[in-house]
Structure 1
Amino acid sequence: MNILELEHVTGGYGRTPIIHDISFSLQSNEIVGLIGLNGAGKSTTIKHILGLLSPHSGDIKVLGKNIQDENMRKHLTYIPETPILYEELTLREHIHMTAMAYGLTEDEAMTRAEPLLKLFRLETELDKFPTHFSKGMKQKVMLICAFVVEPELFIIDEPFLGLDPLGIEGLIDLMVSMRDKGKSILMSTHILSTAERYCDRYIIIHHGEKIADGTIEELREQTGVDGTLDDIYLHLTGDNDVD
């Protein structure tokens, strides 16, 4: 069974469609890069997957059930590009709140959080408030809360922005670990060199439409371009401003 499935999804804000007839799926044991420049439709696609926007047409399913089913939301977690934390809650309380939302006990959550706190060097910050954290530290709090849950589907939007090199390596190790446990990860990014190193497959969106889907070898075969992901993207779109 597919973990995530989009079937002919058209949607956007209000009556104006931003994405058009998008179809793709994610299976277990894979990291998939959602590729495109800023404004290509990546974030709009993600908001539809999260149920924050309702599609004008088409269906979105997680584990075979419609995403609008509230029970399905517990099978995925989302890490946004910009950290969103509650200023009145400590790091420990953020972990406890996440546990409550996903049906974990506080003890379970803290046991899972312990190696994550060490990985991101936040084990001494548990009782501090976000006002004392840098942007990178806030991003690490979001990562800890997301990976504590261990859902079937991780959705990560521009994951490397704001992280230091050790944080980036830690996040990559976590994504690989979750993939090897049978989880699915959809990683939205316009930094193609990083995506090429760590993703198993790529979905390329351009001007709100899916224009390619496959492994790097499959994309090379489809396009006839024996080069990098950047080269393939440029061939498909004609854009010269890829980061």
Structure 2
Amino acid sequence: MTVKIEHLTGGYGKRPVIKNINFELAQGEIVGLIGLNGAGKSTTIKHMLGLLTPMEGEMTISDINIKQDVETYRRKLSYIPESPVIYEELTLQEHIYMTAMAYNISKEAAMEKAQPLLKTFRLEDKLDIFPSHFSKGMKQKVMIICAFIVDPELYIIDEPFLGLDPLGIQSMLDLMVEKKDEGRTVLMSTHILATAERYCDRFLIMDEGQIVAFGNLDELRAQTGLEGKTLDEIYIHVTQGGQQT
């Protein structure tokens, strides 16, 4: 499985926010998508999800092009948004059922996969409660559970740690590593660079709508000439106009 983004240009209206974005994600890796606010991370994600139509470029998952078969393409990915999307009229269990329906999963299979996740995130006794009454962290856990009851090829995770308690953060990281070990691909947008450095295999750094560095930590060090430096130091260097070698 390979995720390919080729010559992607797009944004809102007629003004491009991202310009000629090119990258590939391999099977079984966690890639950190990092950049300043307004760098184009969310716009890139929205294009990959099919929520925005690109001005130019191609997006494929396992050779399925979003333009040619959008439904199959979308079923190959799962998404955890930065801000939880909760439906006031649905219980937690009904949120799980709705996700299952979108991916053609039976209710029984969905609940079987949900049970260990519900236990991990301490929501097993809240299936009949409306998540609209939950705290932000609990709502985020609903999004995580719904995303991980399916087995897509690509997980897109946007700022997953916002609102989570330390135990929830560690459980989320453990899930990401588990999926990586199963051969899934994870694209994670985050500002917590120390965690990204520890868990991500490669890093995609964006600035002003373009990719300014991409690779593992050693490759980023070589690209920037910052041997022995941390991801934080490399990030600050390239987003403040530092030159690459």
| TM-score tier (shorter) | over 0.9
Q: Identify unmatched segments of 5+ residues in structure 1.
A: none
In structure 1, C-alpha distance between the alignment counterparts of 2:165 and 2:130, rounded to whole Å = 21
Report the CA distance between 1:237 and its aligned residue.
2.1
In structure 2, C-alpha distance between the alignment counterparts of 1:131 and 1:154, rounded to whole Å = 24
Q: Is the 8 A contact 1:50 1:67 kept in 2?
A: no
Across the two proteins, how many residue pairs are aligned to each other?
Answer: 239
Partner of 1:182: 183
Partner of 1:205: 206
Q: Superposition pairs for residues 88-99 of structure 1, below 5 Å?
A: 88-99=89-100
1:192 aligns with 2:193: yes
Aligned structure 1 segments of 4 or more residues deviating by more than 3 angstroms: none
Q: Is the 8 A contact 2:64 2:72 kept in 1?
A: no
Q: Superposition pairs for residues 49-88 of structure 1, below 5 Å?
A: 49-68=48-67, 69=69, 70-88=71-89
Partner of 1:139: 140
Q: Identify unmatched segments of 5+ residues in structure 2.
A: none
Partner of 1:103: 104
In structure 2, C-alpha distance between the alignment counterparts of 1:237 and 1:134, rounded to whole Å = 34
Identity %: 63
Q: Superposition pairs for residues 146-161 of structure 1, below 5 Å?
A: 146-161=147-162
In structure 1, C-alpha distance between the alignment counterparts of 2:66 and 2:177, rounded to whole Å = 25
Report the CA distance between 1:191 and its aligned residue.
2.1
Partner of 2:27: 28
Q: Residue 236 of structure 2 is aligned with which of 234, 237, 240?
A: 234
1:218 aligns with 2:230: no
Report the CA distance between 1:66 and its aligned residue.
1.2
In structure 1, C-alpha distance between the alignment counterparts of 2:166 and 2:57, rounded to whole Å = 40
Q: Is the 8 A contact 2:41 2:206 kept in 1?
A: yes
TM-score norm. by structure 1 comes to 0.96
Partner of 1:7: 6
Partner of 2:118: 117
In structure 2, C-alpha distance between the alignment counterparts of 1:38 and 1:58, rounded to whole Å = 23
TM-score norm. by structure 2 comes to 0.95
